[in-house]
Amino acid sequence: MRFFCDRGFVAVGIDNDMRRAFFGDGSSTRWNRDRLLEEYPDRYVHYDLDVRDREATGRVFEKYGRDIELVIHAAAQPSHDWAARDPHTDFSVNATGTLVMLEHARQHCPDAVFIFCSTNKVYGDNPNRLPLVEHPLRWEVEEDHRFFGGIDETMSVDQCKHSLFGASKLAADVLVQEYGRYFGMKSAVFRGGCLTGPNHAGAELHGFLSYLVRCAVTHTPYSVFGYKGKQVRDNIHSHDLVNAFDHFFQAPRVGEVYNIGGGRFSNCSMLEAIALCDELTGSPLQWRYDESNRIGDHVWWISDNQKFQDHFPGWKLTFSVRDIVSQILAQDSSRWTR
């Protein structure tokens, strides 16, 4: 929101803080909403609505109509474990909520650009079939493997275990593609890895890097699940991701799909992330290891951003994992400890 408000746009937010219902009070996003309303009283408008509410959200789209130039749909239930406990809510938020947003956009602002925040979990556990090599602190693929630079959009989404969360996001992912191809909407699917930054309300079940730093600052024990703690994730700062959205907005295409993440520029294993937190905070994190990995979880994921960079050569990553952790510490520590 801040990115586009700073560029002179009026940003309209639809969010009912359901993240708090998913993950508890510590994951509430109210603080960020309140800060936006304070900093941009003339440029940020907030609607406390559920994206599944067709009538209420429809009134918002009807109010602004063809003045809407860009829709960024980021509302989601984002956890493997939570989805298994309540699959109806998970699917209704991730899939039905996306359908509601797409249809409102088609009816009220068909020329607007529609961007959907998908996930690398649409590939299920297919990445775990890669020939991984164990190193002291991480799993890796060999340098001569086609995916060493990152996994691209050619990886299959079929014949694998997705988790129910991955399945509901895949349904939404395909819907966004189809609204582009069938109706000619300027739509794009961004299949992200770990999206993070100082505005991330990380929780144990979602947002590992933000939550890890929070545990380090507040001396809260942290749990590592499976894969010897050597599982690898790329991490993309929210600014770099929204900057990618802006590039697509300036020169949109129809029904595109992009893998997007920190790539080789910004990635870490759990053990490496813990060591970095220990270094930057000056005190060791309290953590334990649980041998059971989460169902459908990836052992190794690094995104190949090449397709997006080929389409938009002016875009580049600017925040490394070290940069991200340092910024989270600088901006969030006082909020967590007061």
Residues β-bridged to residue 46? 13
pLDDT at residue 338 tops 80: no
**Which range among 4-13, 25-34, 55-64, 232-241 shows the weakest confidence by mean pLDDT?**
25-34
User: Given this model, what pLDDT does residue 241 score?
Assistant: 98
User: Given this model, what pLDDT does residue 25 score?
Assistant: 85
Identify the three-state secondary structure at position 252: coil
pLDDT at residue 329 tops 90: yes
- In 264-290, which positions are buried (b, 16+ CB within 10 angstroms) versus exposed (e)? ebbbbbbbbbbebbeeebeeebebeee
- In 208-226, which positions are buried (b, 16+ CB within 10 angstroms) versus exposed (e)? bbbbbbbbbbeebebebbb
- How far is residue 8's CA from residue 299's CA, in Å, rounded to a whole number? 42
Residues β-bridged to residue 232? 269, 300
DSSP state of 303: B
- How far is residue 131's CA from residue 146's CA, in Å, rounded to a whole number? 11
- How far is residue 208's CA from residue 12's CA, in Å, rounded to a whole number? 28
User: Given this model, what pLDDT does residue 226 score?
Assistant: 95
> Which CATH architecture group holds 2-337?
3-Layer(aba) Sandwich (3.40)
Pairing of strands 133-134, 139-140: antiparallel
Tokens 């900093």 — which residue? 39
User: Given this model, what pLDDT does residue 189 score?
Assistant: 98
User: Given this model, what pLDDT does residue 274 score?
Assistant: 97
User: Given this model, what pLDDT does residue 205 score?
Assistant: 67
- How far is residue 245's CA from residue 265's CA, in Å, rounded to a whole number? 19
Mean pLDDT of 309-315: 98
- How far is residue 70's CA from residue 187's CA, in Å, rounded to a whole number? 10
For the chain, what percent of residues have pLDDT higher than 70? 99
| Domain boundary assignment for the chain | 2-337
Query: Which residues lie below 8 Å from residue 203, measured CB to CB, with a gap of 6+?
Result: 19, 22, 23, 24, 26, 27, 211
Q: Is the dihedral of CA 178, 3, 193, 80 positive or negative?
A: negative
Q: Is the dihedral of CA 330, 332, 337, 338 positive or negative?
A: positive
Identify the three-state secondary structure at position 298: coil
Q: Which one-letter amino acid corresponds to residue 83?
A: A
* Tokens linked to 248: 């697509």
- How far is residue 101's CA from residue 75's CA, in Å, rounded to a whole number? 10
Identify the three-state secondary structure at position 60: helix
User: Given this model, what pLDDT does residue 31 score?
Assistant: 83
What are φ and ψ of residue 312, in 5° steps? -135, 75
Q: Which one-letter amino acid corresponds to residue 51?
A: V
Band of residue 85 on the pLDDT scale cut at 50, 70, 90: very high
User: Given this model, what pLDDT does residue 318 score?
Assistant: 98
How does the average pLDDT of the chain come out, rounded? 95
Cα 145 to its chain centre, rounded Å, is: 26
- How far is residue 149's CA from residue 264's CA, in Å, rounded to a whole number? 6
DSSP state of 92: I
Residue pair 10/17 in contact (Cβ under 8 Å)? The answer is no
Terminal CA-CA length for the chain: 26
User: Given this model, what pLDDT does residue 335 score?
Assistant: 82
Band of residue 151 on the pLDDT scale cut at 50, 70, 90: very high
Tokens 């560029």 — which residue? 7
Identify the three-state secondary structure at position 158: coil
- How far is residue 57's CA from residue 289's CA, in Å, rounded to a whole number? 43
